[in-house]
Amino acid sequence: MEKFVIVVHLMIVLAMIGFVLLQKSEGGGFAAGSNAGFLSSRGTANVLTRTTAYLAGAFFATSLLLSILAGFHRNPTTILNPTANGPAAPSPGAPATPLGGQGGGLLDQLQQQERAPAQPSGPQAPQPQ
């Protein structure tokens, strides 16, 4: 359905561009002083103007229809309750498991050193009692 509406929308766009380019210039622009136009009669200009208006209305309608169709495929998600939408993601403070499923990487070793109390390695200042 969407592909059909997109094809119709693009055909309307191309037709509208063509009809706008066929219309006679009403002043301003590059051809401001030329009176000899390809379609210079008033009746032809009226038909072109009406056709352009109908194409603009069809363009608006297909644009609206495409936006409605795009809204049907949208999957709303929430960040407040992650278990309702699928598997729970690890919390930001929890260590992540490596891809192989086993620990022992450099980051794991550094995290273990942070958790272990530091052992004094040199002379200590006297502690007041």
At a CB cut-off of 8 Å and minimum separation 6, what does 98 contact?
105, 108
Residues 58 and 5: beta-carbon distance below 8 Å? no
Give dist(CA 109, CA 103) in Å, integer.
9
Each of the 129 residues of the chain gets a pLDDT tens digit; together they read 889 999 999 999 999 999 999 887 776 555 555 555 555 555 666 888 899 999 999 999 999 999 999 888 777 777 776 555 555 555 666 655 555 555 567 777 777 777 766 666 777 777 787
Give dist(CA 84, CA 63) in Å, integer.
34
Cα distance from N-terminal residue to C-terminal residue, the chain? 83
Task: Report residue 5 as tokens.
Answer: 């509406």
